[in-house]
Amino acid sequence: MPSPFPGMDPYFEGDLWQTFHTELGVEVAHQLTPKLAPRYIGGGLRDTSLREELRQLVAHVHGLGRKLIAPRIEDAQSASLLWTAGVDYIQGDFVQQAGQDMTFDFHTTA
C-alpha cells in the first residue's frame, strides 16, 4: 500500500520518524497554550494600569475556557502579582532553576 503522505515514508526514513508523534504533540500543545507577553512579566507589573490590563486579559482568556501560563518568573514579587491577577500557572527560575536532570520535587514547591 502506498504511503498516505507523499514524500513521507516512515519505513524508508526510519530513525526520523521514531519521535515524530511525541515531538508533534509537544509542539501542538506549545502553540495552543496561551502565554503572557514579556511586557506583563517582571518590573512592568508595578504599573497599576498594566496590572489592570493584565486582569482584563486573564478574564478574557478564562472566558474562552483556557488557562494562562506566565513564563520566565524569577522572583516572589512577580509570582505574587501574577497569582493576584488570576494567572493559572507560572514557569521560571523562581519555581525551579534549569538543570541537567529531571529531579523536580513537587512536594517542596513554593
Assess whether pLDDT exceeds 60 at residue 22.
yes
In a domain, 29, yes or no: no
In a domain, 8, yes or no: no
Q: What is the pLDDT of residue 8?
A: 63
Is the full-model pTM beyond 0.85?
A: no
Assess whether pLDDT exceeds 80 at residue 2.
no
Q: What is the pLDDT of residue 26?
A: 73
In a domain, 16, yes or no: no
In a domain, 13, yes or no: no
Model pLDDT for residues 79-89, shown as the tens digit of each residue: 888 888 899 98
In a domain, 54, yes or no: yes
Q: What is the DSSP string of 64-102?
A: TT---EE----SHHHHHHHHHHT--EE-STTT----SS-
Dist CA 80 CA 101 (whole Å): 28
Residue 76: domain span: 36-108
In a domain, 30, yes or no: no
Cell output for 94: 523562581
Mean of the pLDDT values across residues 18-25?
Answer: 74
In a domain, 83, yes or no: yes
Beta bridge partners of 70: 90
Total domain count for the chain?
1
Q: Which residue has the higher pLDDT, 13 or 25?
A: 25
